[in-house]
Amino acid sequence: MTLGDRLSTLSEYGVDVTVVQRFSRNFASIGADEFVERFLVDVLDAQKLLVGHDLNFGHARSGSVETLVEAGGRYGFAVEVIGPVEADGLVVHSSVIRKCIAAGEVSAASRLLGRPHRVRGRVQPGAGRGRRLGFATANLRPKTPSIPMDGVYATFGCLGGELIPSVTSIGHTPTFGGVDTVIETHLFAEYGALYGRAFAIDFIERIRDQKRFDNAAGLIAQIARDVEEAKSILGALRVR
């Protein structure tokens, strides 16, 4: 997630105040004991901490849950440890979610996140091939660091707070000999010129791998099938 999306999500869950600490070499050099005293005690006057069971903090990851519990006894704050959370037999962890996204397993990532993985950015001009093929696309310049692997996905485009059913292709346009990876979303509605507008994509389900076609006609036929499959997937989702 971008920092803005993280802060927005925390706010939606009822968090009143979020402190963002920029990470730097100087900050990374602070030892665990010094961090507790300077930040948790002197700055925040912490009364109770909720931490994950596998927490490490401080220089060289020298601090642990046990470190905090011991420090709490000295400084007078309580520590509540949150144990592993599982979904579909997997432990919910950021590294597991990133692996799912990188492998294109966006539906698995959604189950672990409790929401679809969202890629945010701005619409930039593309080559215009989609419109000529009869499937105009919004080409995203992403800000979100985690991008699903190349392929075609059933998605929702997010524009001005509205969720728009769509199909998204990630890849290097093999049919036309492209070499740069592009993210192209075909919205199932007409929204006019989108260049320069903020835009996001919610990834729901992977449809297929990228593949090369011998001619434009073959690609057009496949895109039409992708659109119908995406509509079926998204339609079933909305009925639930």
Stretch 64-78: mean pLDDT: 96
Per-residue confidence at 127, pLDDT binned at 50, 70, 90?
A: low
> Rounded CA gap, 72 and 212, in Å?
60
Q: Which of 200, 192, 189, 180 is closest to 123 using CA atoms? A: 200
pLDDT digits 0-9 by tens, 5-51? 899 999 999 999 999 999 999 999 999 999 999 999 999 999 999 99
Taking each helix axis from N to C end, the angle separating 94-102 and 106-113, rounded to the nearest 10 degrees, works out to 160
Name the 3-class secondary structure at 146: coil
Helix, strand, coil fractions of the chain, as percent rounded to 5: 35, 30, 35
The C-alpha atoms of residue 179 and residue 173 are separated, in whole angstroms, by 7
Tokens for 172, please give them.
């290097």
Q: Which CATH number fits domain 116-239: 3.40.50.1370, 2.40.30.30, 3.30.470.10, 1.10.8.50?
A: 2.40.30.30
Question: What pairing do the DSSP bridges indicate for beta strands 138-142 and 182-187?
Answer: antiparallel
The pTM (predicted TM-score) of the whole model is 0.83
Domain boundaries, the chain: 18-82, 116-239
d(CA 232, CA 234): 6
| pLDDT value for 128 | 61
Determine the pLDDT at residue 78: 98
Q: What is the pLDDT of residues 77-106, one digit of tens each?
A: 999 999 999 998 888 999 999 999 999 999
Contact 165, 230 (CB under 8 A): yes
Task: State pLDDT tens for residues 178-230.
Answer: 557 889 999 998 887 788 999 999 999 999 999 888 788 888 898 999 999 99
